[in-house]
Amino acid sequence: MDYKYMARIPNPEGLKELGVFGKGLLLNHDINNWKFNRQFFVQSVSTLNFLKESVNCTQMVFNEMEEYWRFGLEDDNITDFSEWSHSLTTDIIFQMITGKKTWATASYFLAISRGSKLERLQKFDEKLIKESSKLSKAFQMFIMGMDFFTFFPQWVRSCVPTFRASQKEILEAPNTDRTISDIKDINQEYTEPLTDEEIRGILIEALAGGVDTTANVFSFTIYYLAHYPDIKDRLRQEIDNIFSQKENRSLTYDDLSSLVYCEAVIKEVSRVMATAPFITRFNSEPDSIENIEWGTNTRFLIFAPGVHLNKDYWDVPEKFDVDRFIDEKKQQNGKNLLLMWGGGLRQCPGRRLAMVELKCLIVSVFRNWDIELVDMNSPLKCETSIVRSAKDLKVKIKPRKVM
Ligand code: HEM
């Protein structure tokens, strides 16, 4: 194995201060320790039982949200889909990784609800709701904090007042009452070889890595399908075929393999709108590439949109064309042209789980709901740091009209 390009960050001082460097996977440059953690991680989140459970869990969380949509949305039914997506994936990933429930979806619903409709819904435990809202914000702050502590040296963060204030906010953000150190008790027998600190590092990464990314791909899919009704209709045909025998049943893990068009939609959305646009590596030894000598610690920035939208690699790359992932004749030659999951040894270890979740979410939403963009002329609004996040995706949500 070639471990020359394993490092993501050359000067990890800031990240050490933040307490995230050298633990878990994402920012771990100690190859043996990373290998050990990665094996633990992959084996935990890719087993058949875990993936089957995630089908049930995703639908359970979605059903809870549907209840809020049915009875709680205001009469105009206009709402921000990107916020629902984030809340959903927070609830799903926390339940899957820790076995405990969070209330991010309920918390978002309460934040936007006014009036008496609320009373028709279940009573919420206020303390848990507040804690979930804090937790959701803490994940977003965690991702932002990694950027901030990587790019701004200690003296800037300490001496410049606005930076000092941001640093304080980031360091104080993850103060929820819920500690994840007690979670290891659930699986005590499997945790023996890992220290508590390692377990915490892995759990935090699973939570942080799985929330934003999946939520954004889901939001981007809603945006693109609103602009391409023919593609949405074809996707619905595939979904309806699955349920044609028994309309009211739930989606099962075995159904997922029939969702070929749905998978192609997810890939095409991720090609035109990469949620992780920058993949970085540093070399730990000098190297020669394309007859150029690269010294140790050179930063290689792989810009995913530069590959995804390049006409040397893709036929008419500006066209939103789901068939390019279905029709073999349209398949591109060459490896690593879709960088949705990164590549090489550090390729996303949560990709199977993410694909299962995304398929379940897309089936759940298009099976029963019509989602329209409030402003069809508005471009997709995004904020970009380590991930590109959908923002303020205003939609109208209505129960599906079956023709
Ligand atoms: C659609 C959803 C997702 C996307 C688009 C995505 C994308 C990525 C990308 C591009 C990388 C960097 C790979 C590289 O550097 O080559 C990555 C790494 C990572 N992802 Fe994901 N991811 C997703 C979901 C998840 C989920 C659900 C989890 C956890 C359960 C997860 C956990 C991680 C971790 C821990 C790493 C670091 C791996 C390492 O350094 O060894 N991701 N992901």
Tell me the CATH number at 392: 1.10.630.10
H/E segment holding residue 394: strand 394-399
Q: Which residue range(s) make up the domain with 364? A: 13-399
Q: Is 259 within 8 Å of 363 (Cβ atoms)? A: yes
Q: In what order do the strands lie in the sheet with 394-399?
A: 78-80, 394-399, 369-373
316 in a domain, yes or no?
yes
Amino acid identity of residue 231, one-letter, is: I
DSSP string, 224-240: HHHH-HHHHHHHHHHHH
186 in a domain, yes or no?
yes
* Average pLDDT of the chain to the nearest whole number: 84
Q: Is 58 within 8 Å of 96 (Cβ atoms)? A: no
240 in a domain, yes or no?
yes
Is the pLDDT score of 51 beyond 90? Answer: yes
Mean local confidence (pLDDT), 255-283: 95
1 in a domain, yes or no?
no
User: What tokens were used for 148?
Assistant: 């901030």
pLDDT band at 155 (very low <50, low <70, confident <90, very high): confident
Mean local confidence (pLDDT), 111-128: 66
Beta bridge partners of 95: none
73 CA from centroid of ligand 1 (Å): 33
CA atoms within 13 A on the CB side of 346: 20
Q: Is 308 within 8 Å of 263 (Cβ atoms)? A: no
Q: Is the CB of 340 under 6 A from ligand 1?
A: yes
Least confident range from 22-26, 290-294, 331-335, 389-393: namely 331-335
5 in a domain, yes or no?
no
Q: Model-level pTM? A: 0.88
210 CA from centroid of ligand 1 (Å): 7
Percent over 90 (pLDDT), the chain: 46
Q: Domain total for the chain? A: 1
pLDDT tens readout for residues 185-216: 334 443 456 677 777 777 778 887 889 999 99
- Looking at the CA of residue 355, tell me the nearest atom of ligand 1: 1
CA separation (Å) from 152 to 29, 156, 160?
A: 21, 6, 11
- Looking at the CA of residue 41, tell me the nearest atom of ligand 1: 35
